[in-house]
Copies of this chain bind each other. A is one copy, B any other.
């Protein structure tokens, strides 16, 4: 079906999965890494940086914003985007939690 059996899984599992889905596309990874590189928050520079049309970039930004991975502030005509440190921390914590619990013995 391709549909989500999301109802069965826990809130947390669905939330984590959708966070990762937001960064599961190379264009969105590239956006994140670009936002990390440039100190000042940028906007339509991303369109010049990526090999994608403006509507496509806008769509990717929307997904990242919906997932709370980036924030966007209006600055006159432009929009200033930047990474959301809270979400980055949350993602780091998820894996450090796994590392801590993970037994070394395995099959």
Q: Which residues of A contact B (CB under 8 A)?
A: 4-6, 8-10, 13-14, 16-18, 20-21, 23-30, 32-33, 36, 39, 41, 50-52, 71-73, 75, 80-83, 85, 88-89, 91-92, 95-96, 98-99, 101-107
Contact = CB atoms under 8 A, between A and B. Distances in A.
Contact of A83 (B10, B82, B106): B106
A30 to B, nearest CB: 5
Contacts of A36: 98, 101-102
Contacts of A107: 41, 71-73, 75, 80-82
A27 B9 contact: yes
A102 B8 CA distance: 36
Most buried by B among A8, A89, A99, A107: A107
